[in-house]
C-alpha cells in the first residue's frame, strides 16, 4: 500500500522534530510525489523542488533553550531528592505494616503471596533505598 505524501511529510517532520532541515519534494517520471531530506534520485524524468521548513519560513531558526543555572538545578535536585525520600519512606512503612505481600509468580501469568524470606528481602531493599536517598 503506497504512503500518502501528506503522511510521509508528517513522518519526516516528526522524525526531525524542531531541527532545521531541508525538505525536498521529488516527482518521478510517472508523477509519483515523495518528500525526503535527501536530494532526489537521478532517475530519468525526476524533478526536484526544495521546500522551506517552518523555521526557515519565519526567517530564523528557533533559539536553543538556555541551560538552567547551576543554582536552579541544585535546588531542583534537592526538591526531587526530598520527594523521593518521602516516597521511599511511605513504601517502607506500607511494606512493614502489611502482613500480605503479593508478587508475580514464577511463570509470569499471575500473582502469589510472598513467602517470609521474599518479604524480608523486599523490606531490606526498601530500607536501603531510604538510607541512600534520605541522607
Enumerate residue ranges in the chain where pLDDT < 50: 1, 44
DSSP structural state of residue 123: H
Indicate the pTM of the whole model.
Answer: 0.46
Cα separation, 72 vs 91, in Å, equals: 29
Cα separation, 93 vs 85, in Å, equals: 12
Is residue 8 within 8 A of residue 35, CB to CB? The reply is yes
DSSP 3-state assignment of 48? strand
By CB atoms closer than 10 A (0-12, 13-18, 19+), residue 84 is: middle
Q: What pLDDT is attached to residue 93?
A: 93
- Backbone φ and ψ for 48, nearest 5 degrees, come out as -125, 135
Q: What pLDDT is attached to residue 1?
A: 45
Amino acid at each position: 500500500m503506497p504512503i500518502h505524501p501528506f503522511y510521509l511529510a508528517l513522518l519526516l517532520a516528526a522524525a526531525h522534530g524542531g531541527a532545521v532541515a531541508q525538505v525536498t519534494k521529488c516527482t518521478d517520471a510517472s508523477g509519483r510525489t515523495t518528500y525526503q531530506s535527501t536530494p532526489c534520485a537521478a532517475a530519468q524524468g525526476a524533478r526536484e523542488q526544495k521546500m522551506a521548513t517552518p523555521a526557515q519560513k519565519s526567517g530564523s531558526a528557533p533559539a536553543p533553550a538556555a541551560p538552567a543555572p547551576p543554582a536552579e538545578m541544585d535546588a531542583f535536585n534537592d526538591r526531587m531528592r526530598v520527594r523521593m525520600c518521602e516516597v521511599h519512606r511511605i513504601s517502607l512503612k506500607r511494606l512493614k505494616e502489611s502482613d500480605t505481600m503479593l508478587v508475580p509468580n514464577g511463570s509470569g501469568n499471575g500473582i502469589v503471596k510472598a513467602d517470609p524470606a521474599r518479604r524480608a528481602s523486599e523490606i531490606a531493599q526498601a530500607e536501603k533505598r531510604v538510607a541512600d536517598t534520605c541522607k
